Structure 1
Amino acid sequence: MNPELAIDFFKTTVVFALYIAAPFLLLTLVIGLVTSLLQSITSLQEQTLTFIPKLIGIGGLLLILTPWLLRSLSEFAITMISRMGTLGH
């Protein structure tokens, strides 16, 4: 395997991981910002109040995105395995 191909595999994997993780990261960012805004408005400074909304949000998003996640992960795996088959030639 030449270095360019290894770098391409690594780059593709990292970009795909960001593509999969982005919806969850954005959701936790929005929930954290809204919770922080509500805490500052109500002057309620409890650190554990952000945990439950984030947990519920992540669980709900996981249920909603499960078909997309499974399809994307299986397509990525098939693509990478088929590309690995061409390495020996």
Structure 2
Amino acid sequence: MHGDLAMRMTADLFWTGLVVCLPVLGITLLVGLLVSIAQVVTQIQEMSLSFVPKLFAAAVAVIAFGPWMLRKLCGFALLLWTQIPALT
């Protein structure tokens, strides 16, 4: 295995990880921002008020984007397995 191949495979790994995590992180970030704005406006500083909506949004995002995320990860794993013969 050459250095450039290892770097490309590592870059593909990180890119796939970012793309797979992005919907859940983005939705959770948006919900957290909205809850923070609501807390500032209403001056309610309860920790569970910021945690529970983000947890619920993350669960909904995993349910909604789960099949797509699984297809993306399975495609990446299949790509890695099909590239094994070319490594020798």
TM-score for both structures, normalised by structure 2: 0.94
TM-score between both structures, scaled by the size of structure 1: 0.93
Percent identity over the alignment?
32
Matched to 1:10, the amino acid is: T
- Greater relative contact order (Cα 8 A, min sep 6): structure 1 or 2? 2
Q: Distance in 1 between matches of 2:66 and 2:21?
A: 13
C-alpha RMSD of matched pairs (Å): 0.9
1:1-89 → structure 2 map (5 Å cutoff): 1-88=1-88
- SS where residue 28 of structure 2 aligns? helix
Q: How many residues align?
A: 88
What one-letter code is carried by the residue in structure 1 that aligns with 2:35? T
What runs of 5+ residues in structure 2 fail to find an aligned partner?
Answer: none
| Greater per-residue helix proportion | 2
The runs of 4+ residues in structure 1 deviating greater than 6 Å are: none
On the 8 A contact 2:16/2:73 being kept in 1, the answer is: no
CA-CA distance at 1:9 after TM superposition:
0.5
